[in-house]
Every structure is written in C-alpha cells, then in structure tokens.
Amino acid sequence: METAPRSELREVQDERLQKTVQNAYENVEFYREVFDEHGLTPDDIESVEDLSKLPFTTKEDFRDHYPTGMFAREMDDVVRIHASSGTTGKPKIVGYTQDDLDVWSKAVARCLVASGLGPDDVVQNAYGYGLFTGGLGLHQGIEELGATVIPIGGGNTQRQVEMLADLGSDAISCTPSYALYLAEVADDMGYDIKDLPLRVVIFGAEPCTEPMREEIEERLGVKGIDIYGLSEIVGPGVSIECEEQNGLHIWEDYFYPEVVDPNTGDPVEEGEEGELVLTTLAKDALPVLRYRTGDLTTLNYDTCECGRTCVRMDNITGRADDLIIVRGVNFYPSEVESVVLEFDEIAPHYRIDIRREDNLDKLEITVELAEDFDGSRSDLTSRIQKRLSNVLSFTPDKLDLVEYGNIARTEVGKVQRVYDHRGQ
C-alpha cells in the first residue's frame, strides 16, 4: 500500500470508509445523531470525496462524551485503553480492539522501516509507558517489525546513556528536547555520544523546527526522523518521515487526511497550509470521522524520491492552539525556537513567559548561555533582541540570559516552554 498507484489506494480508502461510516452510525450514538441532524445516512458517504458532507469531530466531542461515549464497541471487545495528556480538564479516553492494535502495530512498523530501521536493529524506546500512547505504541511496532525493543521508558537519563553504549542501540525514540538533554548528560558522563552505534533518533510528541533537528543530528551524530500521531486517531504512527526527510508519509490506507482553513473549515488548495483533519479507515473500537487535529500543515501528493506514493505532510511546527497572541501580534513558539537555534552563543533551551501587568501583555523570553560562553552579554542580548523583533514583528519586553543549565530539562513527557500567566 505504501507504493500503490493512487487509484488503487483510493479504492481501498473508499471501501474502508464505507465500513467505518457504517460502524460509526450503527454503534456510536453521537455519530448517529450527527448523521440524522444533517439528513444523511451511511449510504450518502460512498467515497472520501463525500466526507465534506459531514461536520468535523472535535476534541470537545471527546470531552462531552467522556469517558467512552465515542466507542463503537463494548468493553468486552476492547483490549486496551489509553488516554491523551490533556493539559486542562478530563483526558480523552481511547480504546482498541485486538484488530485495532494490529493495525496500529503495522503502522508503526512501517514507520520504522521508512526511517531506515530493520529487523536486525535495536531500538531503545524512551517514550513514557502507561496511558500515554507513545510508549506502548512504539513498543508494539518495534516487535511487529521483528527488531529488538529496549522498553526503558522516559527518564533515568544516565541509565539511558549506559544502555545506548552497552547494548549498542541503533535507534532511540524520544521527544526532540529529550534527545538534546541526552547528549548533555552523555557529555557529563564522559561519553562521546557521536562515537556510539546510535544512528537514528525517532522524535515526536513535541513540535520540532528544522534548526532543532539539525542540532539533534549534529550533537548526536544521527539521522533525526520526525514521527507524528495523536491518541484520538491511534497514537504515534499516523505518519513519519522517510530517509529523504522531505515530509511525513501518512499511511493513507489507515488514515484519510484533509487540510482545511482553521477559521472557516473550508478545504484549502493543495499545497496551502491549514489545519490537518483526519478520518480513521481501519479502526473498530473508535472510528473517528473528520477529526480536527489542531495541527497546521500542508499536503504534498507528488511521489517521493523513496518511491512511496502516499501523501506527505509537512512536519508540524505549530498547533492552532499554540498560537500566542501578545498585544495583538500573533506568533508560534517555533518562531522563537528558530531564532534561539541561530545563535551558537546560546544553548538550545528557552522559555516564554507572558504576563499581564497594568492591563498590558508583557512578553518575556529566557534563553540559556552556551557552556563555554565568555563574550559580552549586552552585545549578545541586543543581537538576539534584534532577530526576535524581525522574526516576531514584535520586540519582547524582556530577554533574560541565564547561565548554562538553568532552564529546567524535561526527562519525562513533553517539555513545557510557554508559561501564560494571564488570567491567573
């Protein structure tokens, strides 16, 4: 399916979509009501082209039907539960039948192959295990491939480094910020991480800019491969970069992508940026139709250099939700990150604080000096400020340079970089 002619892929998509719609309509009250309200029956959705007749599914729908109201199967048939890490309110609960787990494993196994790994490789899985889909999701895909999994989980960084060295891990899966932290700890422990057999870092769960990827590749002497997914759709494994590193292939026989204008919900022209909307095509316990991911991307349908025909999405550097609005100016944290990574004099760590003082928003950015920095702080401050105001079209009210190691590293889970203190 990865290299099938697109017409053949479309036939598979249409056939699976019809089954998915039937399942959602018959077994999920929420979807039955949606269809009824719009005067539709499952027969009206014959092809993926008919999807636009349906409204979107949103994260609020998951919240409103907490915990398992979106499930199309009874708990008897559900063999595993995961939950998304919601920052506010209740988590989104997701469930899988054994068939669903098999599909997920295959999707992740494909990802690993696309990233350049094979059955002979050893993969150290440093994603957190538990309700988070990252740990077990990667784990089962590594086993499906027939590679060797080291289920080390998140944290315990010194042991991670020892395992990398002692077991000669070929790959590690973790967040991009953790990959950099790993390099620092390896340094402190006296290892030259570049000399280790490690050759691939599969990173996900956090947005990663291109300069951040370059930093990871340089510091660790690896290929940095971006993987994408979300619990509501399946977990990690919806898409991944191939070795060309030119967009993430979406496994379109399992997940159907659309890109829409986040404000109007209308489809954008091919190649234009918009919000990614996904429909599951091969999931029984939790069929999801037109889910608004909140992630901004573009789609490219050209056949990739690697020979895969399935569509590529741009790597996600911003979520619609992450947009920061300060005194009427909009920007994404990734724009700050790209500036931070431009300067050799500072380390690739930063935090953004937004406060409201006297009814006025104040933007404060904190960056960390490189370990060997011995130049003029005021000169560096003004150069960074100048770049920030060019990129953000806005000059931060305060730019703090702190000593190396003073911005908290995240060993487990996603790094928090933005602290919005307004309204608190």
Query: Which range binds Zn ion by CB under 5 A, 64-72, 119-127, 305-313, 324-332?
Result: 305-313
Provide the minimum distance between the beta carbon of 111 and Zn ion in the complex, in angstroms, as a whole number: 12
Which of 28, 242, 278, 336 binds Zn ion (CB under 5 A)? It is 242
CB of 174 to Zn ion, least distance (A): 23
163: contact with Zn ion by CB under 5 A: no
Q: Based on CB atoms, which residue is closest to Zn ion, 73 or 312?
A: 312
Query: Least distance from C-beta 203 to Zn ion, angstroms?
Result: 17
Min. distance of Cβ 242 from Zn ion in angstroms? 3
Residues 244-303 that bind Zn ion (CB under 5 A): 244
Amino acid at 153: G
Q: Which stretch binds Zn ion (CB under 5 A): 91-99, 177-185, 239-247, 282-290?
A: 239-247
Please report, for residues 46, 49, 335, the alpha-carbon distance to residue 53 in angstroms, rounded to integers and kept in the order given: 11, 9, 36
Which is nearer to Zn ion, 249 or 417 (by Cβ)? Answer: 249
Residue type, 141: G
Choice between 108 and 340, CB closer to Zn ion: 108
Question: C-beta of 245: minimal distance to Zn ion in Å?
Answer: 9
CB of 295 to Zn ion, least distance (A): 20
Q: Which residue has the tokens 């020979």?
A: 307
- Smallest separation, CB 217 to Zn ion (Å): 18
In the set 109, 150, 296, 304, which binds Zn ion (CB under 5 A)? Answer: 304
Q: Write down the least CB distance from residue 308 to Zn ion, Å.
A: 5
Which segment (146-154, 304-312, 357-365, 403-411) binds Zn ion by CB under 5 A? 304-312
At closest approach, how far in Å is the CB of 230 from Zn ion?
A: 21
> Residues 6 or more apart from 212 whose CB is under 8 A from it?
176, 337, 341, 348
Contact window for Zn ion (CB under 5 A) among 7-15, 243-251, 364-372, 398-406: 243-251
User: Can you tell me which of 308, 349, 351, 417 binds Zn ion, judged by CB under 5 A?
Assistant: 308
In the bound state with Zn ion, the residue whose beta carbon lies nearer, of 163 and 242, is 242
Number of residues that bind Zn ion (CB under 5 A): 5
| Closer of 4 and 401 to Zn ion (Cβ) | 4
Q: Which of 81, 149, 306, 418 binds Zn ion (CB under 5 A)?
A: 306
CB of 306 to Zn ion, least distance (A): 3
Q: Which of residues 94-153 bind Zn ion (CB under 5 A)?
A: none
- For tokens 């089954």, the residue is 19
Interhelix angle for 133-145 vs 98-114, to 10°?
Answer: 70
Question: Between 244 and 420, whose beta carbon lies closer to Zn ion?
Answer: 244
HEC-encoded secondary structure of the chain: CCCCCHHHHHHHHHHHHHHHHHHHHHHCHHHHHHHHHCCCCHHHCCCHHHHHHCCCECHHHHHHCCCCCCCCCCHHHCCEEEECCCCCCCCCEEEECHHHHHHHHHHHHHHHHHCCCCCCCEEEECCCCCCCHHHHHHHHHHHHHCCEEECCCCCCHHHHHHHHHHCCCCEEEECHHHHHHHHHHHHHCCCCHHHCCCCEEEECCCCCCHHHHHHHHHHHCCEEEEEEEECCCCEEEEEEECCCCCCEEECCCCEEEEEECCCCCCECCCCCCEEEEEEECCCCCCCCCCEEEEEEECEECCCCCCCCCCCEECCCCCEHHHCEEECCEEECHHHHHHHHCCCCCEEEEEEEEEEEECCEEEEEEEEEECCCCCCCHHHHHHHHHHHHHHHHCCCCCEEEEECCCCCCCCCCCCCCCEEECCCC
* Nearer to Zn ion among residue 217 and residue 244 (C-beta): 244
Please choose, out of 117-125, 235-243, 355-363, 413-421, the segment that lies near Zn ion by the rule CB under 5 A: 235-243
- Which CB atom, from 172 or from 313, has the smaller least distance to Zn ion? 313
Residues that bind Zn ion (CB under 5 A): 242, 244, 304, 306, 308
